[in-house]
Structure 1
Amino acid sequence: MATVELRFSALPEHVRTARLVAAAVARRAGVDESVLDEVRLAVGEACSRAVGLHQRGGVTSGAVRVSLTDQEKRFLIEVEDEAGPAFVPDPGVDEDADEDTLGLAVITGLVEDLEVTHGARGGVIRMSWPVSVDALAH
Protein backbone atom coordinates (compact mmCIF):
# COMPACT_ATOMS: atom_id res chain seq x y z
CA MET A 1 0.00 0.00 0.00
CA ALA A 2 1.66 3.21 -1.23
CA THR A 3 0.60 6.68 -0.09
CA VAL A 4 1.33 10.09 -1.56
CA GLU A 5 0.53 13.06 0.64
CA LEU A 6 0.16 16.64 -0.50
CA ARG A 7 -0.19 19.58 1.91
CA PHE A 8 -0.82 23.10 0.74
CA SER A 9 -1.78 26.51 2.08
CA ALA A 10 -5.52 27.08 1.79
CA LEU A 11 -5.27 29.20 -1.35
CA PRO A 12 -7.35 28.70 -4.51
CA GLU A 13 -4.29 28.67 -6.79
CA HIS A 14 -3.13 25.37 -5.26
CA VAL A 15 -6.32 23.46 -6.12
CA ARG A 16 -5.25 22.91 -9.73
CA THR A 17 -1.99 21.32 -8.57
CA ALA A 18 -3.93 18.96 -6.26
CA ARG A 19 -6.16 17.90 -9.18
CA LEU A 20 -3.18 17.19 -11.43
CA VAL A 21 -1.32 15.22 -8.76
CA ALA A 22 -4.45 13.19 -7.92
CA ALA A 23 -5.02 12.26 -11.57
CA ALA A 24 -1.38 11.24 -12.06
CA VAL A 25 -1.29 9.11 -8.91
CA ALA A 26 -4.68 7.55 -9.73
CA ARG A 27 -3.46 6.60 -13.21
CA ARG A 28 -0.33 5.03 -11.72
CA ALA A 29 -2.43 3.16 -9.13
CA GLY A 30 -4.50 1.54 -11.89
CA VAL A 31 -7.71 3.56 -11.83
CA ASP A 32 -9.45 3.11 -15.18
CA GLU A 33 -8.75 5.89 -17.71
CA SER A 34 -12.50 6.49 -18.13
CA VAL A 35 -12.75 7.48 -14.45
CA LEU A 36 -9.74 9.82 -14.24
CA ASP A 37 -11.81 12.92 -15.09
CA GLU A 38 -14.16 12.05 -12.23
CA VAL A 39 -11.20 11.72 -9.86
CA ARG A 40 -9.80 15.05 -11.03
CA LEU A 41 -13.16 16.85 -10.67
CA ALA A 42 -13.97 15.31 -7.28
CA VAL A 43 -10.57 16.26 -5.85
CA GLY A 44 -10.94 19.77 -7.27
CA GLU A 45 -14.34 20.19 -5.62
CA ALA A 46 -13.17 18.75 -2.30
CA CYS A 47 -10.07 20.97 -2.24
CA SER A 48 -12.04 24.06 -3.29
CA ARG A 49 -14.49 23.36 -0.47
CA ALA A 50 -11.63 23.02 2.04
CA VAL A 51 -10.05 26.28 0.84
CA GLY A 52 -13.42 28.02 1.09
CA LEU A 53 -13.98 26.79 4.64
CA HIS A 54 -10.57 28.12 5.66
CA GLN A 55 -11.18 31.48 4.04
CA ARG A 56 -14.72 31.95 5.37
CA GLY A 57 -13.59 30.91 8.83
CA GLY A 58 -10.59 33.23 8.82
CA VAL A 59 -8.19 30.34 9.33
CA THR A 60 -4.93 31.61 7.87
CA SER A 61 -2.40 29.21 9.37
CA GLY A 62 -4.05 25.91 8.50
CA ALA A 63 -3.28 23.67 5.55
CA VAL A 64 -5.29 21.42 3.28
CA ARG A 65 -4.03 17.83 3.26
CA VAL A 66 -4.65 15.47 0.36
CA SER A 67 -3.76 11.83 0.96
CA LEU A 68 -3.70 9.47 -2.05
CA THR A 69 -3.48 5.79 -1.12
CA ASP A 70 -3.12 2.86 -3.49
CA GLN A 71 -4.83 0.02 -1.66
CA GLU A 72 -5.09 -3.55 -2.93
CA LYS A 73 -8.38 -3.14 -4.81
CA ARG A 74 -9.27 0.54 -4.23
CA PHE A 75 -7.70 3.92 -4.71
CA LEU A 76 -8.48 6.10 -1.68
CA ILE A 77 -8.31 9.90 -1.51
CA GLU A 78 -8.78 11.91 1.67
CA VAL A 79 -9.06 15.69 1.61
CA GLU A 80 -8.75 17.17 5.08
CA ASP A 81 -9.20 20.78 6.13
CA GLU A 82 -8.09 22.45 9.36
CA ALA A 83 -10.97 24.93 9.49
CA GLY A 84 -12.29 23.53 12.77
CA PRO A 85 -15.87 22.51 13.55
CA ALA A 86 -17.11 26.07 14.04
CA PHE A 87 -16.63 26.88 10.38
CA VAL A 88 -18.89 24.26 8.83
CA PRO A 89 -21.49 26.29 6.89
CA ASP A 90 -25.10 25.98 7.98
CA PRO A 91 -27.52 25.91 5.01
CA GLY A 92 -30.21 28.53 5.36
CA VAL A 93 -28.09 30.69 7.67
CA ASP A 94 -24.83 31.18 5.78
CA GLU A 95 -25.17 32.24 2.14
CA ASP A 96 -21.84 30.50 1.39
CA ALA A 97 -23.52 27.28 2.52
CA ASP A 98 -25.26 27.07 -0.86
CA GLU A 99 -21.86 26.92 -2.56
CA ASP A 100 -20.70 24.29 -0.06
CA THR A 101 -23.87 22.24 -0.58
CA LEU A 102 -23.46 22.45 -4.36
CA GLY A 103 -19.82 21.29 -4.10
CA LEU A 104 -20.83 18.29 -1.99
CA ALA A 105 -23.63 17.50 -4.47
CA VAL A 106 -21.14 17.50 -7.34
CA ILE A 107 -18.79 15.21 -5.41
CA THR A 108 -21.69 12.89 -4.55
CA GLY A 109 -22.54 12.66 -8.26
CA LEU A 110 -18.95 11.74 -9.14
CA VAL A 111 -18.05 9.30 -6.36
CA GLU A 112 -19.91 6.14 -5.38
CA ASP A 113 -17.85 5.49 -2.24
CA LEU A 114 -17.94 8.78 -0.32
CA GLU A 115 -17.76 9.71 3.36
CA VAL A 116 -17.85 13.24 4.78
CA THR A 117 -16.96 13.71 8.45
CA HIS A 118 -16.30 16.66 10.76
CA GLY A 119 -14.12 16.65 13.85
CA ALA A 120 -12.47 19.02 16.27
CA ARG A 121 -9.72 20.02 13.82
CA GLY A 122 -11.87 20.21 10.70
CA GLY A 123 -13.49 18.02 8.11
CA VAL A 124 -12.43 15.06 6.01
CA ILE A 125 -13.83 13.93 2.69
CA ARG A 126 -12.95 10.29 1.91
CA MET A 127 -13.47 9.06 -1.63
CA SER A 128 -12.44 5.85 -3.30
CA TRP A 129 -12.54 4.22 -6.71
CA PRO A 130 -11.90 0.65 -7.81
CA VAL A 131 -8.53 -0.26 -9.25
CA SER A 132 -8.60 -1.94 -12.65
CA VAL A 133 -8.07 -5.72 -12.55
CA ASP A 134 -5.70 -5.36 -15.54
CA ALA A 135 -3.53 -2.91 -13.58
CA LEU A 136 -3.19 -5.38 -10.72
CA ALA A 137 -1.70 -7.97 -13.10
CA HIS A 138 1.18 -5.65 -14.07
Structure 2
Amino acid sequence: MATVELRFSALPEHVRTARLVAAAVARRAGVDEAVLDEVRLAVGEACSRAVGLHQSVGISAPVKVMLIEEEKQFSIEVGDEAPHATPGASNASSAPAEVEAEEDEMGLAVISGLVDDVQVSAGEHGGSIKMTWPATPPAVVLP
Protein backbone atom coordinates (compact mmCIF):
# COMPACT_ATOMS: atom_id res chain seq x y z
CA MET A 1 0.00 0.00 0.00
CA ALA A 2 1.47 3.30 -1.11
CA THR A 3 0.30 6.58 0.38
CA VAL A 4 1.00 10.16 -0.66
CA GLU A 5 0.18 12.88 1.85
CA LEU A 6 -0.42 16.43 0.69
CA ARG A 7 -0.94 19.41 3.01
CA PHE A 8 -1.68 22.88 1.79
CA SER A 9 -2.63 26.26 3.24
CA ALA A 10 -6.39 26.79 3.24
CA LEU A 11 -6.32 29.06 0.22
CA PRO A 12 -8.42 28.56 -2.94
CA GLU A 13 -5.40 28.88 -5.24
CA HIS A 14 -3.94 25.63 -3.85
CA VAL A 15 -6.99 23.54 -4.77
CA ARG A 16 -5.82 23.31 -8.40
CA THR A 17 -2.51 21.82 -7.30
CA ALA A 18 -4.34 19.22 -5.20
CA ARG A 19 -6.46 18.27 -8.23
CA LEU A 20 -3.39 17.86 -10.44
CA VAL A 21 -1.52 15.75 -7.86
CA ALA A 22 -4.61 13.58 -7.27
CA ALA A 23 -5.04 12.92 -11.00
CA ALA A 24 -1.35 12.04 -11.44
CA VAL A 25 -1.33 9.62 -8.50
CA ALA A 26 -4.68 8.11 -9.58
CA ARG A 27 -3.30 7.50 -13.08
CA ARG A 28 -0.21 5.81 -11.63
CA ALA A 29 -2.42 3.69 -9.34
CA GLY A 30 -4.33 2.34 -12.35
CA VAL A 31 -7.57 4.30 -12.16
CA ASP A 32 -9.26 4.13 -15.58
CA GLU A 33 -8.47 7.12 -17.84
CA ALA A 34 -12.19 7.70 -18.39
CA VAL A 35 -12.65 8.30 -14.64
CA LEU A 36 -9.77 10.75 -14.13
CA ASP A 37 -11.93 13.81 -14.84
CA GLU A 38 -14.33 12.65 -12.11
CA VAL A 39 -11.38 12.21 -9.74
CA ARG A 40 -10.20 15.77 -10.48
CA LEU A 41 -13.68 17.25 -10.05
CA ALA A 42 -14.43 15.35 -6.82
CA VAL A 43 -11.07 16.26 -5.28
CA GLY A 44 -11.52 19.88 -6.31
CA GLU A 45 -14.96 19.96 -4.70
CA ALA A 46 -13.77 18.27 -1.48
CA CYS A 47 -10.72 20.53 -1.19
CA SER A 48 -12.75 23.68 -1.93
CA ARG A 49 -15.18 22.62 0.79
CA ALA A 50 -12.34 22.12 3.30
CA VAL A 51 -10.77 25.48 2.37
CA GLY A 52 -14.14 27.21 2.81
CA LEU A 53 -14.69 25.57 6.20
CA HIS A 54 -11.22 26.60 7.42
CA GLN A 55 -11.65 30.17 6.20
CA SER A 56 -15.16 30.53 7.64
CA VAL A 57 -13.97 29.81 11.19
CA GLY A 58 -10.46 31.28 10.90
CA ILE A 59 -8.45 28.05 11.13
CA SER A 60 -4.85 28.44 9.97
CA ALA A 61 -4.09 24.69 9.97
CA PRO A 62 -3.47 23.16 6.53
CA VAL A 63 -5.98 21.07 4.61
CA LYS A 64 -4.84 17.43 4.50
CA VAL A 65 -5.18 15.17 1.48
CA MET A 66 -4.23 11.47 1.67
CA LEU A 67 -3.88 9.58 -1.61
CA ILE A 68 -3.96 5.86 -0.82
CA GLU A 69 -3.02 3.29 -3.44
CA GLU A 70 -4.08 -0.26 -2.59
CA GLU A 71 -4.05 -3.46 -4.61
CA LYS A 72 -7.41 -3.04 -6.38
CA GLN A 73 -8.58 0.38 -5.29
CA PHE A 74 -7.46 3.97 -5.00
CA SER A 75 -8.76 6.25 -2.23
CA ILE A 76 -8.48 9.94 -1.54
CA GLU A 77 -9.26 11.35 1.89
CA VAL A 78 -9.63 15.11 2.31
CA GLY A 79 -9.59 16.27 5.92
CA ASP A 80 -10.41 19.55 7.60
CA GLU A 81 -10.07 20.74 11.17
CA ALA A 82 -13.22 22.86 11.26
CA PRO A 83 -15.70 22.05 14.03
CA HIS A 84 -18.89 20.56 12.61
CA ALA A 85 -22.24 20.69 14.35
CA THR A 86 -23.06 17.38 15.93
CA PRO A 87 -26.58 15.98 15.77
CA GLY A 88 -28.68 17.16 18.69
CA ALA A 89 -26.57 20.25 19.31
CA SER A 90 -28.68 23.34 19.82
CA ASN A 91 -27.13 26.29 18.06
CA ALA A 92 -28.85 29.59 17.39
CA SER A 93 -29.66 29.67 13.68
CA SER A 94 -28.48 32.55 11.55
CA ALA A 95 -28.92 33.33 7.86
CA PRO A 96 -25.18 33.14 6.97
CA ALA A 97 -24.87 29.77 8.73
CA GLU A 98 -27.89 28.45 6.81
CA VAL A 99 -26.38 29.58 3.48
CA GLU A 100 -23.08 27.89 4.36
CA ALA A 101 -24.91 24.70 5.31
CA GLU A 102 -26.77 24.71 1.97
CA GLU A 103 -23.50 25.22 0.06
CA ASP A 104 -21.92 22.40 2.08
CA GLU A 105 -24.81 20.05 1.27
CA MET A 106 -24.59 21.00 -2.41
CA GLY A 107 -20.85 20.24 -2.46
CA LEU A 108 -21.44 16.86 -0.85
CA ALA A 109 -24.21 16.14 -3.38
CA VAL A 110 -21.83 16.92 -6.26
CA ILE A 111 -19.18 14.61 -4.79
CA SER A 112 -21.75 11.83 -4.29
CA GLY A 113 -22.79 12.22 -7.91
CA LEU A 114 -19.21 11.84 -9.11
CA VAL A 115 -18.04 9.03 -6.83
CA ASP A 116 -19.85 5.74 -6.11
CA ASP A 117 -18.01 5.02 -2.85
CA VAL A 118 -18.00 8.08 -0.55
CA GLN A 119 -17.70 8.18 3.24
CA VAL A 120 -18.25 11.45 5.09
CA SER A 121 -17.41 11.91 8.74
CA ALA A 122 -17.66 15.07 10.82
CA GLY A 123 -17.35 16.03 14.45
CA GLU A 124 -16.38 18.84 16.74
CA HIS A 125 -12.66 18.46 15.87
CA GLY A 126 -12.98 18.30 12.09
CA GLY A 127 -14.20 16.10 9.32
CA SER A 128 -13.16 14.09 6.31
CA ILE A 129 -14.43 12.91 2.98
CA LYS A 130 -13.04 9.59 1.76
CA MET A 131 -13.61 8.73 -1.89
CA THR A 132 -12.68 5.38 -3.43
CA TRP A 133 -12.37 4.20 -7.03
CA PRO A 134 -11.51 0.79 -8.50
CA ALA A 135 -7.94 0.52 -9.82
CA THR A 136 -6.06 -1.94 -11.94
CA PRO A 137 -2.34 -1.60 -11.29
CA PRO A 138 -0.27 -1.40 -14.48
CA ALA A 139 1.37 -4.67 -15.51
CA VAL A 140 5.02 -5.04 -14.65
CA VAL A 141 7.11 -5.79 -17.72
CA LEU A 142 10.24 -7.76 -16.96
CA PRO A 143 13.27 -7.52 -19.30
**Contact 1:62/1:83 (8 A) holds in 2:** no
Contact 1:10–1:54, Cα closer than 8 Å, also in 2? yes
- Aligned pairs for 1:39-118 within 5 A: 39-59=39-59, 61-86=60-85, 94-118=98-122
Q: Which runs of 5+ in 1 are unaligned?
A: none
CA distance in 1, matches of 2:25, 2:138: 15
Aligned amino acid, residue 139 of structure 2:
A
Q: CA deviation at 1:121?
A: 2.2
- Are the equivalent residues in 1 in contact too, given 2:85–2:123 (CA < 8 A)? no
| Equivalence for 1:24 | 24
User: Contact 1:5/1:68 (CA < 8 Å) preserved in 2?
Assistant: yes
User: How high is the TM-score relative to the length of structure 1?
Assistant: 0.89
Q: Which SS does the other structure have where 2:98 is aligned?
A: coil
Give aligned-pair identity as a percent.
Answer: 68
SS in structure 1 opposite 2:82? coil
Residues 42, 106 of structure 1: CA spacing in aligned structure 2 closer, same or farther, 3 A cutoff?
same
Show CA shifts across 1:60-108 (max 9, x none): x211000001001100100000112359xx8x85212221111111000
Amino acid at match of 1:33: E
Q: Distance in 1 between matches of 2:123 and 2:113?
A: 24
Runs of 4+ in 1 over 2 A off after TM superposition: 84-87, 135-138
CA distance in 2, matches of 1:118, 1:63: 17
* 1:137 match: secondary structure: coil
For structure 2, the residue ranges without an aligned partner over 5 or more in a row are: 87-92
- Equivalence for 2:123: 119
Q: Which amino acid aligns with 2:134?
A: P
Number of residue pairs matched by the alignment? 132
- Aligned-partner Cα distance in 2 for 1:136–1:14: 29
